[in-house]
Amino acid sequence: MTSYRVQAYNTAHDSENKIHDDAVARGFGFTGALVPGVDVYAYMMHLPVARWGREFLERGLSECRFASPVYDGETAEVLGREEGDALRIEVTSQGKSCAIGSARLSEGKAGPDIPFVQAPELENRPQAGPATLVPGQVLGTQLFEPSREFMAGYLRDIRETDGLYAREGLVHPGNVLRMCNFALFRNVKMGPWIHVGSKAQSLGAARMGETLAARSRVLANYEKKGHLFVDLDVLVLSGTRPVARVLHTAIYQPRQAARAA
């Protein structure tokens, strides 16, 4: 067993996704604003990077599934157990299991290309729904440049203690996964929404100062227990190099919002 403790911080206080706002989150039955799932994933990734180092950033396979919220200011404990060639990971907080996942080394391929598509202006995004998140549809490519200054602030916000990223000028896998969120909410308008899980194959280490690009395609759009879900296939590039292929799943309309509508 290995463990890692983090005092969780809600990096999305000012996000347009109001599930990260205390008042709105309480209206959905939570006790406060949710720490973003991509940040909980970032906490989880401390253990495999500590185990395998940069090699994990180059060819690691990781999975995460979120079951219960992590709240701002609370302690999140990340527990890892080696099982064969894999590391099983669980995040607990306030006595609850909040996330489960796994990590291991795996040679991956970029897979079928996803073409570049011009992204809509934010003010012109269509409303998320079955007609705008159609299986097979290619979404607009999202771009972001992780400067050294930005990454220094990000590493502080996620309480990362590993000096690898600053020392070698590398982008944290949590920020790579955040590009998948960009692929969703920067292409369609949504009310409060929830990231519920991801499976990510690393294909190379992303570097600070190189433009990150998220090219994405809708895999599925479905209803489950009153929630509306979307699965995205996301190819993340750093400059011209593929650095991750991700199956990214989110509830884009919780059942509480559907009932209110």
Q: What integer pLDDT is reported at residue 13 of this predicted model?
A: 86
Q: What integer pLDDT is reported at residue 1 of this predicted model?
A: 80
Q: What integer pLDDT is reported at residue 256 of this predicted model?
A: 79
Domain containing residue 246: CATH number: 3.10.129.10
Element (H, E) at 151: helix 148-157
Report the distance separating Cα 186 and Cα 183, nearest Å.
6
> Residue 227 is which amino acid?
H
Residue in 210, 72, 199, 214 with CA at minimum distance from that of residue 143: 214
Q: What is the pLDDT along the chain (261 residues), one digit of tens a residue?
A: 899 999 999 999 888 998 999 899 998 889 989 999 999 999 999 999 999 999 999 999 999 999 999 999 999 999 999 999 999 999 999 999 999 999 999 988 888 999 999 999 999 999 999 999 999 999 999 999 999 999 999 999 999 999 999 999 999 999 999 999 999 999 999 999 999 999 999 999 999 999 999 999 999 999 999 999 999 999 999 999 999 999 999 999 998 776 655
Domain that holds residue 56: 2-260
**Running DSSP on this structure, what letter comes out for residue 120?**
P
Q: What integer pLDDT is reported at residue 82 of this predicted model?
A: 96
Report the distance separating Cα 202 and Cα 173, nearest Å.
9
Residue in 128, 136, 142 with CA at minimum distance from that of residue 193: 128
> Residue 215 is which amino acid?
R
| Total structural domains within the chain | 1
Report the distance separating Cα 59 and Cα 47, nearest Å.
15
